[in-house]
A and B are shown apart, each in its own frame.
Chain A
Amino acid sequence: MPDRGRARSLAAIWGSVVVAPVATAAALGWFLLAHQATPSQTSAPTPDEPVRLTEVESPYNDISIWKRADGNLMLLFGARRLHYVESIVDPADPLDLPVTYTQSMVTGALAFPTHLDSAMIIGLGGGRTSWYLHKSVPSLDYTAVELDPDVIRLCAQYFGVAAEPNFSIVNEDGRVFLTKIDRTYDAILIDAYRGPFVPFHLLTTEFYKLVAAHLKPGGVAVQNVEPTTMLFDNAVATIRSAFDHLVFLHGDGNIVIVAYNGPEKDEATLAKQAAEREQEFQLRYDPATILQRRFTPDWNTATKPLTDDFAPVEYLKAIARHNEKQP
């Protein structure tokens, strides 16, 4: 009888060790076959269906580049179920900025700084903002800092945005880059998103103080912020903790915050600078016109700034913001 008990135990062990994984694998295989991914599209674009040109799994993102029926290219992060359009590029017109908030970003960098000798951006993306600033103001010493090496490679391959005189690209985390350098800039643009989230260490008081320390006198920080969640109030409070003055420009869903220290840039100064730069550089998007996008948003002024110690970015991003008001 003990032999029979032993045989039963062995059967139970083999049952759990061999049968269970095989059954799990079979069920998984069936599920994958039943929900097989649609093959990648290779046919000519139709009005509704963009064509995927490439798909890359980088160290940080699932990146894909699509060609729309209107000829514009799209840079997407994320997989089929959940993806984010990071950039829209007109390959025939490198100065076109089809995404409205990028027009506000470049205006922040062109109209507000006292001088216009050097600028940098954290987050290259599709390179629209960077390429517009570089091509519009060729004398500007411009540095783009991008974490993802595949974004840099694809940007050069598909969008023609690559290092050249007065335009350098650094493959590094934006905050780490700032901690390593001593130089200062007239404008520091920040547009670093990973899908829907700003990496938390790029949205804290310590980070913005680092940004402020790398600005020349009269220089400005320009930040793209998505306003629909509780994170907006915290973002404003955090930027406010490092800068004396904040100016808000709407950007069709996003809000661009221009932040600076020192004396306030009054209306006359901004109008003069915008007019001078429009005249000197013949800008595609007239800064004076886009300055009219300025507004004062509703935000909870009691909100505490985020810090390296306490920055629940993902949590705040998940909570819808009430009474959101944008012009």
Chain B
Amino acid sequence: MSEPANQEAPAGPWAIALVILDVATLGFITLGFEMVASRILTPLFGSGIYTWATIISIVVAGLMAGYFVGGLLADRFPTFTLAAAIKLVAAVYLAVVFALAGDGLESLIDRIPGETTALFAGGLIVCFPPLVVLGMYSPLSVRLLLRRPGDAGKISGGLFAISCLGNIAGILGTTFLLIPTIGTRAITGGFAGFLFVSGLVSIAARLSQRATEP
């Protein structure tokens, strides 16, 4: 049985390069931000194993929701417009975390009764929304590059591998380089700024695609 006819123009080299760069950098920010979240939450809840378990579970829950929702949206809007929206929303939320990381989060947490509830609420406020949004990019990245079902394995496998490489660089770079040099809030602000600029690049890519579409 022959494969379905190609409905879309093949992704150009610039589009491929942009998606690969996005997957790597968003992978960096995703787990780099997990390390940052631990530094934001530890002064409030201590350095116990429960704090870490909360952070990791909420990060994975955020990614889970992001993959699911991102997959649905990617089929509906398989364009760089969605990529831009993902990055800009993540940028805005990280800017909120940047603002909260002062005293705002502490006064917010103080209003929540119960230690465990407050811990989960703190984790949800800091980690969940940005991870949902960042997680949405993974299925979209596959959708942006996939043209033939026969390529699904190598495209998805390759993108997931690049994303994991970004994850590793994010954990190590944030822990060994960024936290000792610029501090927690500056990293959060930097991630927000980068995502904002990256979102603008995605908008430019979409406009450029439209201009060349027949």
Which residues of A does B touch, CB under 8 Å?
A: 59-60, 147, 172-173, 175-176, 194, 199-201, 204, 206-207, 307-310, 312, 314-316
Q: Which of A147, A172, A309, A314 contacts B183 (CB 8 A)?
A: A309
Asked if B46 lies at the interface with its beta carbon under 8 angstroms from chain A, I say yes
Residue of A nearest to B42 (CB): A201
A87 to chain B, nearest CB (A): 20
Smallest distance from the beta carbon of B158 to chain A beta carbons, Å? 16
Please name 14 further chain A to chain B contacts, defined as beta carbons within 8 Å, in addition to the given A201-B46, A312-B180, sorted by A numbering.
A147-B47, A175-B43, A200-B39, A200-B47, A201-B43, A201-B47, A206-B43, A309-B101, A309-B183, A309-B184, A312-B179, A314-B180, A315-B179, A315-B180
In the bound complex, do residue B180 and residue A199 qualify as a contact, i.e. CB atoms below 8 Å apart?
no
- The 8 A CB mask of B19-54 against A (1 = contact, 0 = none) is 000000000000000000001001111111100000
User: Cα distance A58–B101 when bound, in Å?
Assistant: 31
The verdict on A60 contacting B43 (CB below 8 Å), with A309-B185, A312-B180, A315-B180 known, is no
Whether the Cβ atoms of A59 and B180 lie closer than 8 Å is no
Least distance between A210 CB and chain B CB atoms (Å): 10
Which of B44, B47, B176, B184 lies in contact with A199, CB distance below 8 A?
Answer: B47
Q: Which secondary structure dominates where chain A touches chain B? A: loop
**Chain A residues whose CB sits within 8 angstroms of the CB of B184 once the complex forms:** 308-310
The complex places the Cα of A146 from the Cα of B180 at a distance, in Å, of 27
Task: Decide if B183 touches A173 in the complex (CB within 8 Å).
Answer: no
A134 to chain B, nearest CB (A): 25
B46 partner, pick from A147, A206, A308, A309, beta carbons under 8 A = A147
Could you say which interface size class chain B belongs to?
A: 10 to 19
Measured CB to CB, the closest approach of chain B to A62, in angstroms, equals 14
Which residues from chain B contact A175 at a C-beta distance below 8 Å? Answer: 43, 46
Contact with A along B42-80 (1 / 0, CB 8 A): 111111110000000000000000000000000000000
Task: For B46, give the chain A residue with the smallest CB separation.
Answer: A173
Q: Is the CB of B45 within 8 A of A173?
A: yes
**What B residues does A60 contact at CB under 8 A?**
48-49
Q: Are B48 and A147 neighbours in the complex by a CB distance under 8 Å?
A: yes
Question: Bound complex: CA of A312 vs CA of B179, how far in Å?
Answer: 6
Contacts of B42 in A (CB 8 A): 199-201
Minimum C-beta distance from A203 to chain B (A): 11
In the complex, chain B residues 107-121 whose Cβ is within 8 Å of any chain A Cβ: none
Q: Measured between alpha carbons, how far is A60 from B184 in the docked complex, in Å?
A: 24
User: How near does chain A come to B22, taking the closest CB pair, in angstroms?
Assistant: 28
- Name the residue of chain B whose CB is nearest to the CB of A197: B47
State the 6 A-B residue pairs at the shortest beta-carbon distance, nearest first. A173-B46, A310-B183, A312-B180, A315-B180, A201-B43, A199-B47
- B173-212 interface (Cβ within 8 A of A): 176, 179-186
Tell me whether A59 and B49 are in contact (CB under 8 A).
yes
Q: Which of B46, B179, B182, B184 has the most CB of A within 10 A?
A: B46
Name the CB-closest residue of B to A314: B180
Q: Which residues of A contact B182 (CB under 8 A)?
A: 310
> CB-CB < 8 A to B47: which residues of A?
147, 173, 194, 199-201
15 A–B pairs (Cβ distance < 8 Å), ordered by A: A147-B48, A173-B46, A173-B47, A173-B48, A175-B46, A176-B44, A200-B42, A201-B42, A201-B47, A308-B43, A309-B101, A312-B179, A312-B180, A315-B179, A315-B180
A176 touches B46 (CB 8 A): yes
Q: Quote the shortest CB–CB distance from A280 to chain B (angstroms).
A: 37
A279 to chain B, nearest CB (A): 41
Of all chain A residues, the one with the shortest Cβ separation from B40 is A308
- Report the Cα distance A90→B97, complex, angstroms: 50
* Measured CA separation A194–B24 after assembly (Å): 34
Q: How far is the CB of A67 from chain B (nearest CB, A)?
A: 29
Within 8 A of A (CB), among B142-198: 176, 179-186
Chain A residues with CB under 8 A of B101: 309
Taking CB atoms, residues of chain B closer than 8 Å to A310 are 182-184
Find the residue from B43, B180, B181 having the highest chain A CB count within 10 A: B43
Residues of A within 8 A of B39 (CB): 200, 308
Chain B residues closer than 8 Å to A309, beta-carbon distance: 101, 183-186
A176 and B45 contacting across the interface, CB-CB below 8 Å: yes
A147–B47 Cα gap in the complex (Å)? 9
User: Known contacts being A309-B101, A309-B185, is A172 close to B46, with CB within 8 Å?
Assistant: yes
Of all chain A residues, which has the CB nearest B53?
A59
